[in-house]
A and B are shown apart, each in its own frame.
Chain A
Amino acid sequence: MSMETTLSHDTPAHDDHHHDKPRGLARWLYTTNHKDIGTLYLVFSLLMFFIGGSMAMIIRAELFMPGLQLVEPEFFNQMTTMHALIMVFGAVMPAWVGFANWMLPMMIGAPDMALPRMNNWSFWILPFAFTMLLSTLFMDSGGPAAGWTLYPPLSLQGGQSFAFVVFAVHMMGISSIMGSINVIATILNLRAPGMTLLRMPLFVWTWLITAFLLIMVMPVLAGAVTMLLTDHFFGTSFFNAAGGGDPVMFQHIFWFFGHPEVYIMILPAFGVVSEIIPTFARKPLFGYSAMVYATASIAFLSFIVWAHHMFTVGMPLTGALFFMYATMLIAVPTGVKVFNWVSTMWKGSMTFETPMLFAIAFVVLFTIGGLSGLMLAIASVDLQYHDTYFVVAHFHYVLVPGSVFALMAGAYYWLPKWTGHMYSETWGKIHFWVSAISVNILFFPQHYLGLAGMPRRIPDYSTQFADFNMISSIGGFIFGASQLIFVGVIVHCVYKSRQKATAQVWEGAKGLEWTLPSPAPYHTFDTPPVIDETTIAHAHSRH
């Protein structure tokens, strides 16, 4: 087998940095190069996006009509749970780590990530973690079916496969923590001379803050699932009332992780959009330092709002008021961001290439998701919205036309830098318009379903919900299919496109990555670049 031969060939070289890279599988297994690892993360997350997406298609197909048609309720529950776990931990988070790997060193003038070997390890844990997680679907007791929140006592009623879920979550956590340590070490230690903190591109800033959130909350999730594991298999009673525990405590611990987690998925999106809008508006980002402080404020607030997920569980009035107002407070720094993006576009010389289209759609549709979030924050009315499709509509608006659109915007934006070729602008635009329209057909009706009282995570529904569910499912099928266009555009760009990309790629692009040739060479910034006021985006800011 080629793996064994390459293993024996591989000597523990101290400085294999500039040697010829191995070929084939070995190149990807042993690579410590930030661009290779970035590619691995991005390809992996795209694969997971399609696996998680197929599960969503099963869910929407079952919900196409009232009654049970296609799948058993138990399997439906496994689909909703697995869809969420795969999309959160397998698609969105690794995709952002992929962007971080590719772009951070190039944006701050570093030769590579600070801890390249750990970088390799943090990626290669993931395929094993998700193989374990997905394998539970083929076990006798089936996959996890209690929702991605894994609330006890329901999650403890699962069978033996639950141990696989817990260990998969542990491995994902270890991977994210190692990735985050790498990001922080890179940003704090490897910036080129002159790249002061307040000159860093916003994507770098948002990732720095995201990385701190990750190393603080992923261990809390690991602790929570460990307690579930010992409650399930070793007779402890952390969450078992009979033994003096409290299932509500799990919800507190889970959401202490869970709320920062949703910002982990959206903060890098804020960063990417803050790179793209100035480029295509041909104006510097409006309110750069306000953006940095707003990001930090959102990250801080994310730690003190967790119980807004638990208003229906019951809490003292003062508690409900505190969590309600603290949650509403998050709208202030988020509003600052939205206003700054709009102000950046104001009177700009705008053009509407695919990355810009996705970025503008992000601003509009993420704001809709943010406003429905404000509605959910109101403790008194949350009692009606809780666990309905209104919640489903809310978080899908912030995650799909939010995080996922920002990922696509970023992919189109930097694809020419990665591959050296231009993608097909026509097909990119077709992908955008089909996605942007179908995503609204998919999720907007769910607001009404939720307000009318349709509960989430149930495979059947009352007939009065039939029409909106059918519309939503049709939107879902179109949205799912339109992502195949995305794959087509990428494959075409990598292998077929003959249109060479220039170094700057986009007329208005500023920043160190655009001073490098396209495609970016395997090793970049071996000697630190000289920071030139005209090439970096935020040179005008305070030193």
Chain B
Amino acid sequence: MSQQKKKLSNASLARRLALISVAMFGFGFAMWPLYNVFCDLTGLGGRGVKIAEGADGVGGSDRQVRIRFDATVNSSLPWDFEAVDKAMTVTLGEMSEAMYMAANPTDKPLAGHAIFNVTPPEASLYFVKTECFCFTQQVLQAKEAREMPVYYFIQPDLPASIKEITLSYTFYPDKKANLALTESAGK
């Protein structure tokens, strides 16, 4: 049988199969960049939100959409954080402002970083922020409370099927910055 002559030896067959396993181990890690690309394309995880600092609204639509605002704090950051307006109705293409309120009730300064998400995911592709407290790290001094604004507009080509969009923020502690803050407070 000619087929039998071409057979690989056990050792080289085993090596090739082991190579598949090693490659698949790599594939597990390759999921990380692949997942990022997938999120950028589909807008999953709020990844579609565009940042255009200093831009103005584009206008050109009379369609309206309802925006809801959600606020969460990670359990390891002892802050109070909430949306001042829970919801508003905006005209597509027009600049809008949403106000959040964050307070540090402890008696030491704390740094936090806000991570956002948008639901439904595809809506994030039409979401443009011109200014947001989530762009940078935020430090609240002891007992400090501060308003945190978001300036944004929704692109007029938002699909008609989307009637309501939720913008959600979660504040996480910035551990490195907090370490530095406690050190400088100790000095």
Let me know if B70 is at the binding interface, CB within 8 A.
no
Check B115 against A215 for contact (C-beta < 8 Å): no
Check A253 against B28 for contact (C-beta < 8 Å): yes
Let me know if B113 is at the binding interface, CB within 8 A.
yes
Contact A316/B42 with A220-B24, A220-B25 known, Cβ cut-off 8 Å = yes
Contact A185/B172 with A220-B27, A222-B25, A314-B121 known, Cβ cut-off 8 Å = no
Q: 1/0 per residue A174-204: CB within 8 Å of B?
A: 0001001110110011000100000000000
* Chain A 246-291 interface residues, beta-carbon cutoff 8 Å to B: 246, 248-249, 252-253, 256
Tell me the bound Cα distance from A216 to B18 in angstroms.
Answer: 10
Tell me the bound Cα distance from A214 to B158 in angstroms.
Answer: 44
Check B31 against A249 for contact (C-beta < 8 Å): yes
Residues in B with CB closer than 8 Å to A253 are 28, 31
Check B29 against A223 for contact (C-beta < 8 Å): yes
Check A220 against B35 for contact (C-beta < 8 Å): no
Check A246 against B35 for contact (C-beta < 8 Å): yes
Let me know if B141 is at the binding interface, CB within 8 A.
no
Least CB distance, B16 to chain A, in whole angstroms: 9
Let me know if A241 is at the binding interface, CB within 8 A.
yes
Residue of B7, B23, B31 near A188 (CB, 8 A) is: B7
Q: 1/0 per residue B161-187: CB within 8 Å of A?
A: 000000000101100000000000000
Residues in A with CB closer than 8 Å to B82 are none
Tell me the bound Cα distance from A180 to B24 in angstroms.
Answer: 15
Tell me the bound Cα distance from A248 to B25 in angstroms.
Answer: 19
Tell me the bound Cα distance from A372 to B172 in angstroms.
Answer: 41
Tally the A-B contacts, defined by beta carbons under 8 Å.
93
Determine the residue in chain A with the shortest Cβ distance to B11: A115
Let me know if B74 is at the binding interface, CB within 8 A.
yes
Determine the residue in chain A with the shortest Cβ distance to B4: A193
Residue of B13, B29, B121 near A185 (CB, 8 A) is: B13
Q: 1/0 per residue B20-42: CB within 8 Å of A?
A: 11111111110110010001001
Let me know if B17 is at the binding interface, CB within 8 A.
yes
Let me know if B14 is at the binding interface, CB within 8 A.
yes
Check A188 against B24 for contact (C-beta < 8 Å): no
Let me know if A242 is at the binding interface, CB within 8 A.
yes
Least CB distance, B172 to chain A, in whole angstroms: 3
Contact size class for A?
A: 35 or more
* Chain A 212-244 interface residues, beta-carbon cutoff 8 Å to B: 215-224, 226-227, 238, 241-242
Least CB distance, B83 to chain A, in whole angstroms: 19
Least CB distance, A142 to chain B, in whole angstroms: 20
Check B21 against A177 for contact (C-beta < 8 Å): yes
Check A181 against B18 for contact (C-beta < 8 Å): yes
Check A242 against B14 for contact (C-beta < 8 Å): no
Contact size class for B?
A: 35 or more
Check A184 against B42 for contact (C-beta < 8 Å): no
Task: Point out which of A215, A221, A224 has the most chain B C-beta atoms below 10 A from its C-beta.
Answer: A215
Residue of A114, A115, A314 near B119 (CB, 8 A) is: A314
Let me know if A118 is at the binding interface, CB within 8 A.
yes
Let me know if B45 is at the binding interface, CB within 8 A.
yes
Check B28 against A219 for contact (C-beta < 8 Å): yes
Least CB distance, B10 to chain A, in whole angstroms: 5
Residue of A184, A185, A221, A249 near B35 (CB, 8 A) is: A249
Contact A185/B14 with A222-B28, A223-B29 known, Cβ cut-off 8 Å = yes
Q: 1/0 per residue B82-125: CB within 8 Å of A?
A: 00000000000000000000000000000001010001111000
Check A215 against B21 for contact (C-beta < 8 Å): yes
Tell me the bound Cα distance from A227 to B25 in angstroms.
Answer: 11
Check B13 against A252 for contact (C-beta < 8 Å): no
Check A242 against B10 for contact (C-beta < 8 Å): no
Tell me the bound Cα distance from A314 to B121 in angstroms.
Answer: 9
Tell me the bound Cα distance from A275 to B51 in angstroms.
Answer: 63
Check B32 against A249 for contact (C-beta < 8 Å): yes
Contact A220/B28 with A242-B74, A316-B122 known, Cβ cut-off 8 Å = yes
Tell me the bound Cα distance from A297 to B23 in angstroms.
Answer: 23
Determine the residue in chain A with the shortest Cβ distance to B3: A196
Least CB distance, B49 to chain A, in whole angstroms: 14
Determine the residue in chain B with the shortest Cβ distance to A190: B10
Least CB distance, A219 to chain B, in whole angstroms: 4
Tell me the bound Cα distance from A242 to B75 in angstroms.
Answer: 12
Check A216 against B24 for contact (C-beta < 8 Å): yes
Check A181 against B14 for contact (C-beta < 8 Å): yes
Q: Which residues of B are in contact with A by a Cβ distance under 8 Å?
A: 1, 7-10, 13-14, 17-18, 20-29, 31-32, 35, 39, 42, 44-45, 74, 113, 115, 119-122, 170, 172-173
Known: A188-B7, A246-B39. 8 other contacts (CB 8 A): A181-B17, A181-B18, A216-B21, A223-B28, A226-B28, A242-B113, A253-B31, A316-B44
**What are 6 A-B contacts with C-beta separation under 8 Å?**
A180-B17, A219-B28, A223-B26, A227-B29, A315-B121, A316-B121
Q: Which residues of A are in contact with B by a Cβ distance under 8 Å?
A: 114-115, 118, 177, 180-182, 184-185, 188-189, 193, 215-224, 226-227, 238, 241-242, 246, 248-249, 252-253, 256, 314-316
